[in-house]
């Protein structure tokens, strides 16, 4: 549905709740270049991830005697279509199992753009709320026009005085700077072949909102897991459900908090994700539900959505070359 919007709860529109685990633990979010490198690359990834996954579980056990933890894995079928689900998914599951890991939920990255005919990424753009820097006067075009989101005031583009002389250079300024600024400017989309191509950070922000149980369309949950009951995975990515439940785990896909285990080359991407989350006006009903239920379990969540997302960045064995969008 083009231009769908996640709406606020009203008297006529009730925000439906979703099952929530304590923690959503992501065991991988790799590009197709990683998969193309073969089973050995995945073997290295999961062997390293297992170390940190055990540490995360131990940390969760300090906060709850019986923590509900679900695991997930995201496959990039958005920027590049490599191989088929029939060939790739069994390889991923086998290498995870070799490392002693179980993947409960598997998602396609394209589902963060469109899932079940709902344009999730487009919907989230309607919830972006830019924070005007102090002293700004509306000279910067809105994110809806530019596709760029910043955490402060950009460097002016060569302003001139009334007499025509060029003023001196002015630095960018972070809105919530502490002593010194850390300025970021994030591209959310570009145009390619007449269509909008969403950036990796923006799709990852949608993915975090889904894992945190905060996405709704007309009050209804989106990106709902579909139980996989078949014996063989399909030959075409579009025939694989957007989000697949692979095990009989009792832990829900969405959770109060998330933890993502990634190679350190993803650090800049996830910094951008947090900037986007900080400027997203999340569904009020969903926020209230998560806050009330987490508090009732003695595990209250931070008010800021970005603070609910945790990360472990590890150094890749063998210095695997940097991958990116293609």
Q: For 15-56, what is each residue's pLDDT tens digit? A: 999 999 999 999 988 887 888 888 999 999 999 999 999 999
With respect to residue 220, please indicate whether it lies within any of the assigned structural domains: yes
For CA atoms 33, 34, 35, 37, the dihedral sign is positive
With respect to residue 92, please indicate whether it lies within any of the assigned structural domains: yes
- Per the prediction, the chain carries an average pLDDT of 87
With respect to residue 219, please indicate whether it lies within any of the assigned structural domains: yes
Residues 109-157: tens digit of each pLDDT:
999 999 989 999 999 999 999 866 655 555 678 888 889 998 888 777 6
Q: 107 or 173: which carries more pLDDT confidence?
A: 107
Whole-number percent of the chain with pLDDT over 70: 87
Q: pLDDT band at residue 5, thresholds of 50, 70 and 90?
A: low
With respect to residue 236, please indicate whether it lies within any of the assigned structural domains: yes
With respect to residue 15, please indicate whether it lies within any of the assigned structural domains: no
With respect to residue 147, please indicate whether it lies within any of the assigned structural domains: no
Total number of domains constituting the chain: 1
CA dist 268 and 60 (Å) reads 26
pTM comes to 0.88
CA dist 309 and 212 (Å) reads 8
With respect to residue 196, please indicate whether it lies within any of the assigned structural domains: yes
Residues 247-263: tens digit of each pLDDT:
998 899 999 999 999 99
Cα-based distances in Å from 52 to 25, 270, 320: 11, 18, 19
With respect to residue 173, please indicate whether it lies within any of the assigned structural domains: no
Give the domain extent around 259: 21-126+190-319
């Amino acid at each position: 549905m083009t231009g769908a919007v996640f709406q606020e709860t009203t008297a006529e529109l009730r925000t439906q709740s979703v099952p929530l685990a304590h923690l959503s633990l992501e065991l991988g979010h790799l590009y197709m270049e990683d998969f193309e490198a073969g089973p050995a690359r995945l073997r290295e990834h999961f062997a390293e991830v297992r170390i940190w996954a055990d540490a995360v579980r131990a940390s969760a056990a300090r906060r709850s005697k019986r923590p509900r933890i679900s695991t997930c894995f995201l496959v990039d079928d958005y920027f590049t279509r490599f191989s088929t689900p029939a060939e790739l998914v069994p390889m991923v599951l086998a290498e995870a199992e070799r490392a002693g890991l179980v993947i409960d939920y598997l998602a396609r990255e394209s589902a963060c753009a469109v899932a079940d005919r709902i344009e999730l990424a487009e919907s989230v753009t309607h919830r972006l709320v830019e924070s005007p820097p102090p002293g700004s006067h509306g000279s910067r075009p809105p994110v809806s026009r530019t596709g760029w989101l910043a955490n402060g005031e950009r460097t002016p583009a060569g302003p001139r005085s009334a007499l025509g002389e060029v003023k001196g250079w002015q630095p960018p300024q972070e809105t919530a700077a502490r002593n010194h600024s850390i300025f970021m400017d994030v591209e959310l989309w570009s145009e390619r072949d007449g269509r909008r191509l969403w950036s990796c950070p923006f799709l990852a922000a949608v993915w975090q909102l889904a894992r945190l149980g905060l996405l709704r369309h007309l009050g209804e949950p989106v990106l709902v897991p579909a139980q996989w009951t078949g014996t063989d995975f399909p030959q075409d990515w579009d025939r694989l459900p957007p989000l697949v439940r692979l095990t009989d785990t009792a832990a829900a896909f969405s959770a109060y908090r998330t933890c993502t285990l990634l190679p350190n080359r993803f650090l800049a991407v996830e910094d951008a994700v947090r900037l986007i989350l900080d400027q997203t006006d999340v569904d009020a009903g969903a926020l209230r539900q998560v806050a009330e239920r987490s508090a009732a379990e003695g595990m209250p969540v931070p008010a800021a959505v970005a603070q609910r997302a945790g990360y472990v960045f590890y150094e890749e064995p063998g210095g695997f070359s940097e991958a990116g969008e293609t």
